[in-house]
Amino acid sequence: MFRLSEKTAGVFVISATPFCPDGSLDLEGTEQLLDFYVGCGVTGITILGVMGEANKMTDAESAKFAERALRHIGQRMPVIVGVTHSALTALRDLSHSVMDLGASGVMLQPASGLKGDEAVFRYFEQVFDAIGAGIPVVYQDFPQASNVHLSPAAWSRMVQEFPDLVMLKHEDCPGLPKLSKIRDMERQGIQRRVSILIGNNGLYFPQELHRGADGAMTGFAFPDVLVKVYDHFLAGRADVGEDLFDRYLPLNRYEQQLGFGLPVRKEILRRRGALRHATARKPVYRLTDTDFAEIDRLMARVER
């Protein structure tokens, strides 16, 4: 079984969750979506993240989708499951059930609105106490959604205190100085080295790789491109990788718009054959004819 560790690296894709036109969970389309991601050459897949609209799903739906996904690909590559929940009991139960099904680890954000380093630390102290030892945990540092600031000092304290905390999903923005600070503390022996995968749709991927990131974990609809960028970087061809990245940057940037990017992403995934339907759960922005025309132009530009 695959298991996350401090050495995990590569490109993980944040999976969309497929829905039918009526908004119901499209379990029948799950394999099609996951096989598309596998075909893109990704290192692993993360389900039930922000991109996966987990906050719009019932606990029962989350469990059903996780079971379907893990049974389909859990033996082929690492799968991380988002377990963020306001109730620690629900967070614990989902964590244990997905690990029993073959998940490689779980990912969660702090409770919304925590103020100060001490509050963040105490929250995760309760989380690790609730789920117990032995489950690898990814901290999703996404203050744009959680409204929680994670300082490098607070991160260092948690890394030292919680041995099952093995990865940081780095999505603070601007976040390049924080990434450099964390790697500096590791080099100085202040804390153990952990895996850092970047998010924010990979908008700053080349710069973050140069600063010590181990890869990406993002919902960009062209994960195969990020895989190639990463491979070029590992092979010592960073400039070649960045040139490739730059060709897709306008489309990437367009996808990343808050409150707008999700339906755009799902529409592109539908066009690429990954999704049977581009449906996103309400409440959601509804794409207009103008939006569709912009997507047409951006994708045509990429093809050229």
**Six-digit token pair at 117?**
């380093």
Nearest partner of 138 among 162, 120, 154, judged by Cα: 162
- Selected residue with higher pLDDT from 138 and 145: 138
Rounded distance between C-alpha atoms, residue 200 and residue 184, angstroms: 22
Span 229-273, pLDDT tens digits: 999 999 999 999 999 999 999 999 999 998 899 999 999 999 999
**Six-digit token pair at 72?**
């389909």
- In this predicted structure, the answer to whether residue 164 has a pLDDT above a threshold of 90 is yes
**Six-digit token pair at 249?**
């940057």
Give the percent of the chain with pLDDT over 90: 97
- In this predicted structure, the answer to whether residue 16 has a pLDDT above a threshold of 90 is yes
pTM above threshold 0.85? yes
Tell me if 229 sits within 8 A of 239, measured CB to CB. Answer: no
User: Which pairs from 173-182 meet CB under 8 Å and 24+ separation?
Assistant: 173/144, 173/200, 175/141, 175/200, 175/204, 176/204, 176/207, 176/208, 176/211, 178/152, 179/208, 179/211, 179/212, 179/213, 180/211, 180/212, 181/152, 182/152, 182/155, 182/156
Which residues are paired to 169 by β-bridges? 140, 197
- Give the mean model confidence (pLDDT) for residues 74-99: 97
The band of 1, judged by pLDDT with boundaries at 50, 70 and 90, is: confident
- Give the mean model confidence (pLDDT) for residues 141-161: 95
- Selected residue with higher pLDDT from 258 and 203: 203
Span 97-132, pLDDT tens digits: 999 999 999 999 999 989 999 999 999 999 999 999
- Give the mean model confidence (pLDDT) for residues 135-141: 98
- Any idea which residue has 């082929």 for tokens? 76
DSSP string, the chain: -----TT--EEEEEPP--B-TTS-B-GGGHHHHHHHHHHTT-SEEEESSTTTTGGGS-HHHHHHHHHHHHHHHTTTS-EEEE---SSHHHHHHHHHHHHHTT-SEEEEPPPTT--SHHHHHHHHHHHHHHH-TT--EEEEE-HHHH-----HHHHHHHHHH-TTEEEEEE--SS-HHHHHHHHHHHHTTSS---EEEE-GGGTTHHHHHHTT--EEEE--S-HHHHHHHHHHHHTT-HHHHHHHHHHHHHHHHHHT-TTTHHHHHHHHHHHTTS-S----PSS-PPPPHHHHHHHHHHHHHHH-
**Six-digit token pair at 236?**
């010592």
